[in-house]
Structure formats: C-alpha cells, structure tokens
Amino acid sequence: MKTTKENISAKAEGLLAKLGPNTLRGELRKLAKEIKLDHELAMELWSSGELNARMLAILIMDKKQLDAKEVDRLITDMSEHPYDERISLMDWLYANQLSKNKKLLTLIDSWEHSDLALQRRTYWYYQARQRWTGQTPPDNTAELLDKIEAGMADEVPEVQFTMNLTAGWIGIYDEQYRERCIDLGERLGLYKGEMVSKGCTPSYLPEFIAIEVGKRS
C-alpha cells in the first residue's frame, strides 16, 4: 500500500517532495549521509512505492533490523516494479545492505530455488562475485556449471544474466573449465551480437572470457 499524507511523518513527506524520477544517485547518497540510519523513516519512504524513495530508503535502513521475513517482503515489493527498476533496486539492496552483513550473506545461499526471480538472480550474482573479487571461491564450481548448463536457457532474463556472469568468471579464473564455458556460450548464443557501450565488456561468453583473460595475460 502506498503512503498518503495522512499516514506519514512530516519528515518523510518533505523528502518525498524533494525526490523525483530524475534524482541522481549522488543526490540520494548525499541525503542519506545527512539522515544517517533511520529505519522507521526508511519504511515510510519505502511504502510510497516510488523508485527513488525506495532507493533512498535502502541507504538509511538499519541492517540489524533486516531478517529473512523482512527481506522477502522488500523483494516481493520490488518485483512489482518495471524490469529496469526492479534490477536497480535489487542490486542497490545487495550493494548497500546484504553484502555488508554476514547474516544476510548467508541468507543469499538459501535463494537458489526461491520463487522470487530477484532472489535467484542475487544467488547467482553472489556466486559470480566470489570469483572475481580475488577471494578463494567455494568448492562448488563443477556443480554450478552443471546447474547453469541444465537451467540457464529456461530462466527468466534477470536470472539468466547472473548465471551467465557466473559462467563467465568461472571461465576466466578457472582454466580447466574455460573451454566448457566458451562452448556453453556458443551453444546457447545468449547475448551474441549484443551492442554494448564503449569501454564495456560484452556478455556473450566467448567474447567476455577472451577479453577478460586477455586483460590478465
């Protein structure tokens, strides 16, 4: 349910008046720095249903008050947004809350088979991230590749993207699986011919792996 002027605080109302569709991320961070942690205010902003109000809410939430039930509720709400908005919200939640709390990171491991696509997306993003950040990845690479080969073609686009990302980083950092990852990309053809901005790496696995391996040679 969206907020109305009758059921929100003056502070939340004032912030909502400042925020619009063209508010920049930097402005949101500046506001969050001024507000600091304020979980109650965050929930008021969240209940407005507006994209940038929810982005600001994520920045000022208290991660200590986020348990599995609350995170499920937030992600269910996100799922009602248009595609680009829900991806932005989920990635923002991961970067600013989930990744900063060991309890919440552990929660992500339970999302592989979630009914919520955004949770499955984040499960695979977390698997990918453990491979490009320089840390020793979990000993589950062969199992992950089996699952990617069996399921990526039939997944929804937001989950396909991070499954593909995981296969890419496995191919880059684990030479014994490189040809297998390249072959997977060739067989599925996902993102082949995709136009990318200057300086960005294509998502098509053969190109992605070749470019990133080349950077590390």
| Secondary-structure percent of the chain, ordered helix, strand, coil, rounded to 5 | 70, 0, 30
Round to whole Å and give the CA distance between 214 and 217. Answer: 5
pLDDT tens, position by position, 162-217: 999 999 999 999 999 999 999 999 999 999 999 999 889 999 999 999 999 999 88
pLDDT of residue 56: 98
Q: How many percent of the chain have pLDDT more than 90? A: 87
Q: Mean pLDDT across the stretch 112-131?
A: 96
pLDDT of residue 216: 87
- Statement: residue 133 has pLDDT above 80: no
Round to whole Å and give the CA distance between 188 and 9. Answer: 51
Q: Which of 1-10, 86-95, 206-215 has the lowest mean pLDDT?
A: 1-10
C-beta neighbour count of 121 within 10 angstroms? 28
Round to whole Å and give the CA distance between 119 and 52. Answer: 21
Q: What angle do CA 138, 117, 179 make, to 5 degrees?
A: 45
pLDDT of residue 7: 73
- Statement: residue 45 has pLDDT above 70: yes
Round to whole Å and give the CA distance between 106 and 94. Answer: 12
39 pLDDT band (50/70/90 cuts)?
very high
Q: Mean pLDDT across the stretch 106-134?
A: 93
Q: Which residue has the tokens 């995170």?
A: 71
Q: Mean pLDDT across the stretch 102-130?
A: 95
Q: Mean pLDDT across the stretch 53-76?
A: 96
pTM of the model: 0.91
pLDDT of residue 132: 83
Q: Is 174 helix (H, G, I), strand (E, B) or coil?
A: coil
Round to whole Å and give the CA distance between 98 and 119. Answer: 12
Helices 117-132 and 157-173 meet at what angle, rounded to 10?
Answer: 10
Q: Which of 4-13, 31-40, 59-68, 103-112 has the lowest mean pLDDT?
A: 4-13
Q: Mean pLDDT across the stretch 30-56?
A: 96
CB 78 within 8 A of CB 90: yes
pLDDT tens, position by position, 14-24: 999 999 889 99
Each as own residue / partner, the long-range contacts of residues 87-96 (CB below 8 Å, 24 or more positions apart, any chain) are 87/121, 87/158, 88/51, 88/55, 89/51, 89/54, 89/55, 89/58, 90/118, 90/121, 90/122, 91/125, 92/55, 92/58, 93/58, 94/122, 94/125, 94/126, 96/58, 96/59
1 pLDDT band (50/70/90 cuts)?
very low
